[in-house]
Chain A
Amino acid sequence: MSDLQSPASTGTAGKASSDAPVKATAGGDAPSAPATSGRSFLPQSTLLRHLLVLAVCAVLAVVILEITSPFQNSQLATLSYYAIAAGGLTVLTGMNGQISLGHGALMAAGAYTTALLLDAEEPLPLPVILLASIVVATAIGALVGVAAARLHGPYLAGATLALAVGLPGLAIYFHDTFGGEQGMRVRAPQAPEWFSSFIDTVSGNSASSTKWLAYVGAICLLITYFFLANLIRSRIGRTWRAVRDQEVAAELSGINLGAWRVLAFVVSAAAAGLAGGVLAIVVRLAAPSGFTIVLSLSLLTAIVIGGLGSLLGALLGSALLVFLPPFVTNLGGDFGLSQTEAAQLAPFVYGVVLIVVMIFVPAGFVGTIRLRWMTRKAKRAMAQAGADGASSRG
């Protein structure tokens, strides 16, 4: 996986950069709205366009959360923290070409911050606590980012891997503060008054704590993706891509490679910190066994399956992480497997899906669809050009 994005290691990268986008990151490289054609009804300004999409998504989120069952609400809450972390990681890996196996540890930093702050006698308001989680994870991300900016490919993977393995160990070492192996139990914050009246007006459903947590998750997810989408489409996003695709050219253009890499890591760490905070209140626990290397690897597989560099891809990949295992387990049960066998089937099927995706749609779901679409457009343009040329000659 590491050589997906190591631009300096291949001599052909420079030639490729002027042609089609790098295949693996096709999901992220297409502009979010066709800039040239005049057919679009969306506003030309990126910010306005994204605000419009945000509003539509918010309405969609409310509708989805209100028509689904309480259990599906809880699954959507789970989806939200995976998707927030995966969104941050896809910016780092897809946009900037750095790999991180340490995002689970950054989530742990966010989760423990939330747990510690909620543990207080008079806890601060939830938004403040989540902001604090972001700040702590960002600080750790900045430290790691400074080291990471000097590393490439497998070395970077190794360094972040050390973070994933080492950081949860701190919770065990500082047993008295962080609760050791058993972790810290988190009392999920209660829903405020206005929430139940809001739910009552919208759908008349009961405003359970599960629903409240799902809404908290959805709100955090939407805000994160809004910020990330704006970053990707801005000068910052373009600079990150320049650093990723052609180091030498970027440096010649006056881009400070190291600083921009650190920035990407910091942004990504902030998202992971928020994801960790949401995880803590949804799971109601911050424990080292929740932040193993498996979590970091799951996030990486999620963005690869969805399509590197694409936020939609990160969301789809996270959805697969959340919905596939119970689906497979229940399917196995329906086919007469015992519950133990059905449970063992889930990781196996996930592995098979990952392999199949890598073989048949190497750019991920979103990436492959965009690649197809761009190829078709290019062919049409070529045919058009060919026809024009023929007519002008004739």
Chain B
Amino acid sequence: MTTIAAATVLSTVAACGGSDDSGGGSGGGGGENEASDIGVTADTIRLGAHYPLTGVAAPGYSEIPTGVQAYFECLNQEGGIYDREIEFIFRDDAYNPTQTSQVTNELVLEDEIFAMMSGLGTPTHSAVLDFLNDEGVPDLFVSSGSLLWGDNPEEYPMSFGWQTDYMSEGKIIGEYIAENFPDAQVGLFLQDDDFGEDGEAGIRQYIDDQIVAAERYTPGNTNVGPQIAALQAAGADFVVGFNVPSYTALSQLTALQLGYDPQWFYSNVGSDPTLVGSLLNRFSEGQVSDAALLDGALTTGYLPTVDMTDNPWIQEFQRIWDECGGEGELTNYRVYGMAQAYTMAQALQAAGQNPTREGLVEAVEAVGSEWEGPVFAPFRYSEESHMGTSGMTIERIVGNGSEEVQPVRITDIGDAPIEEFDGEPATPPTNAIPDEEPYEG
């Protein structure tokens, strides 16, 4: 009872003060918090997610939930969302869709989460897409760039993407190569699933005539010698990889063995220098000790990275990690998790003081495209599209960091044009806690 009383007082004070900077507790009316839907009580909101915490996909990806959790921990210390604490439950699926289905059943039916957020992986999340939509559970900000979550809101009204989709990424890379390397003979190194397929479709829109070879690898097969040799034989002097980090390391080592030295361009997913460096070290049994091989390679970015120590978002996230995080350093994967948690906080604020599952989805559709945050370019959320952010920079890897070689450009799936992004980079609000108005349908 005291909590509710305190909540009322606080929101009244905030309303009277009219201040916009007073954190997540402001913005609502003077009403009381109610248990407005499954997973929401007067003082908690329960969210859930699935990640590979064990198994082959765990390195890197298992750090994302620690970032999400650290952000929510600090958010809760500052009063949470409308004085509700965020409970974030994440469960291990070992990157196995069968287990994803089991843990999602557990999250939805047993833990009774209000919404799923940040569920990771294309094959894994595919397994629960129908279930979440049938049960009417909001499925926000899936951690994968597949088009599946966003391009068909009629069939999957509850699901939303978050990161730049692989097709848009391919288009921006294609345009960059067409303008800056018009004479390059381009080879593609692709993962043999939607990831490589969407990326290839995007890149071919711009440099179809420059591509001399497209080689595919199957995840799990660690010998990429034939593919790299075929690229070399085709005379490719510029290789674009749509691959995961372990295959960045494998392709580098294989090229080293073959004496093949093209200009490399790795898509965002496969380019984290710290992780690739440690993988290189492991795969080469210590003969290559860091990511120096990657020096000079190009990549894309849609989020600030930990090496940008003068970026205000990174500074805030560093503070949050130091105050509310666990063991270990702030990594790009933790930044990714915190950025998603930031967007989630925006969504929950927009859903209003007493959110419902329907209301949350409506709010994201209605105002999600206006949100500013750590992500470089705006989201594309609307009733017609549930795609996430659309813009990317082009960056050159230097040491464990990167320098920008082309500012943010934005596009969309299909044959939408690529445009310069003219918005200013957002600065973080106080304590990196958003302050969105509730959306009134």
Interface flag for B182 (CB, 8 Å): no
> Closest approach, in angstroms, between the C-beta of A324 and any C-beta of chain B?
12
Given A175-B192, A290-B98, A339-B91, also A285-B127 (CB < 8 A):
yes
Please, which residue of chain B has its CB at the minimum distance from the CB of A168? B220
Q: Does B40 contact A (CB under 8 A)?
A: no
A-binding residues in B (CB < 8 A): 53-54, 62, 65-66, 89-92, 95-98, 101-102, 105-106, 109-110, 122-124, 126-131, 134, 191-194, 218-219, 326
- Asked whether, in the complex, the Cβ of B96 is within 8 Å of the Cβ of A290, the reply is yes
Q: In the complex, which residue of chain A has the Cβ closest to the Cβ of B53?
A: A343
Which of A183, A289, A295, A326 is in CB contact (< 8 Å) with B106? A326
Q: Which B residues are CB-close (under 8 A) to A188?
A: 130
Assess the B96–A285 pair: CB atoms within 8 A.
no
15 A-B Cβ contacts within 8 A?
A69-B109, A71-B105, A75-B105, A175-B192, A181-B193, A182-B194, A185-B126, A187-B130, A283-B97, A284-B127, A284-B128, A285-B97, A294-B96, A295-B98, A329-B92
A210 within 8 A of B: yes
Instruction: Report the interface size for chain A: residues with CB under 8 A from the other chain.
Output: 39
Q: Flag whether A347 is at the interface (Cβ < 8 A).
A: yes
Known: A69-B110, A182-B193. A283 touches B98 (CB 8 A): yes
- Count of A-B contacts with CB under 8 A? 103
Chain A facing B: main interface SS: helix
B192:A172 contact, CB within 8 angstroms: yes
Take A182-B126, A185-B129 as given contacts and tell me if A71 and B91 are in contact as well, using a CB distance cutoff of 8 Å.
Answer: no
Name B122's contact: one of A71, A182, A292 (CB within 8 Å): A182
Q: Which residues of A contact B192 (CB under 8 A)?
A: 172, 175, 180-181
A206–B65 Cα gap in the complex (Å)? 34
Closest A-B pairs by Cβ, 10 of them: A343-B92, A71-B110, A71-B109, A285-B127, A74-B105, A343-B53, A181-B193, A290-B98, A283-B101, A70-B109
Asked if A344 meets B98 with Cβ closer than 8 Å, knowing A181-B218, A185-B129, A329-B92, the reply is no
Q: Known: A74-B105, A284-B130, A290-B96. Contact between A339 and B65, CB under 8 A?
A: yes
Taking CB as reference atom, which chain B residue is nearest A347?
Answer: B54
Q: Report yes or no: A287 in contact with B219, Cβ–Cβ below 8 A.
A: no
Chain B CB within 10 Å — which of A75, A287, A294 has the most? A287
Chain B residues contacting A289 (CB-CB under 8 Å) are 95-97, 123-124
Most buried by B among A180, A285, A326: A285
A183 near B97: Cβ-Cβ < 8 Å? yes
Residue from A71, A73, A292 within 8 A of B96 (CB atoms): A292
Chain A residues within an 8 Å CB radius of B102: 74-75, 78
Checking A172, A210, A338 against B109 with a beta-carbon cut-off of 8 angstroms, the contacting residue is: A210
Q: Nearest chain A CB to B356's CB is how many angstroms away?
A: 20
Q: Say yes or no for A282: interface residue by CB 8 A criterion.
A: yes
Cβ A285 vs Cβ B126 within 8 A: yes
A181 to B195, alpha carbons, bound, how many Å?
Answer: 10
Cα of A284 to Cα of B98 in the assembled complex, Å = 9
Residues of chain A within 8 A (CB-CB) of B96 are 289-290, 292, 294
User: What is the distance, in angstroms, from A285's C-beta to the closest C-beta of chain B?
Assistant: 4
Which single residue of chain B is at the shortest CB-CB distance from A70? B109
Q: Mark A327-344, 1 if CB is under 8 A from B, else 0.
A: 001000000001110011
Name A161-182 residues within 8 Å CB distance of B: 169, 172, 175, 180-182
Q: Smallest CB–CB gap between A76 and chain B, Å?
A: 11
Across the interface, name the chain B residue whose C-beta is closest to A180: B193
A188–B95 CA distance with the chains assembled, in angstroms: 22
Rounded to whole Å, the gap between the CB of B409 and the closest CB of chain A is 28
Question: Roughly how many angstroms separate A127 CA and B198 CA in the complex, as a whole number?
Answer: 37
CB distance from A345 to the nearest CB of B (A): 10
Known: A175-B192, A183-B97, A284-B131. A340 touches B62 (CB 8 A): yes
Given contacts A285-B101, A339-B89, 14 further A-B contacts (CB under 8 A): A70-B109, A78-B102, A169-B218, A172-B218, A181-B191, A210-B105, A284-B127, A284-B130, A284-B131, A285-B123, A285-B126, A326-B106, A338-B326, A340-B66
- Expressed in whole angstroms, the Cα–Cα distance for A209 and B131 within the complex equals 9
Is A311's CB within 8 Å of the partner chain B? no
**Is A117 an interface residue when CB atoms closer than 8 A count as contact?**
no
Q: What residues of chain B lie closer than 8 Å to A74, measured between beta carbons?
A: 102, 105-106, 109
Chain B residues whose C-beta falls within 8 Å of the C-beta of A338 in the assembled complex: 326
| 8 Å CB contact of A287 from B127, B194, B326 | B127
Which B residues are CB-close (under 8 A) to A183?
97, 123, 126-127
Separation of A322 and B377 alpha carbons in the complex (Å): 43
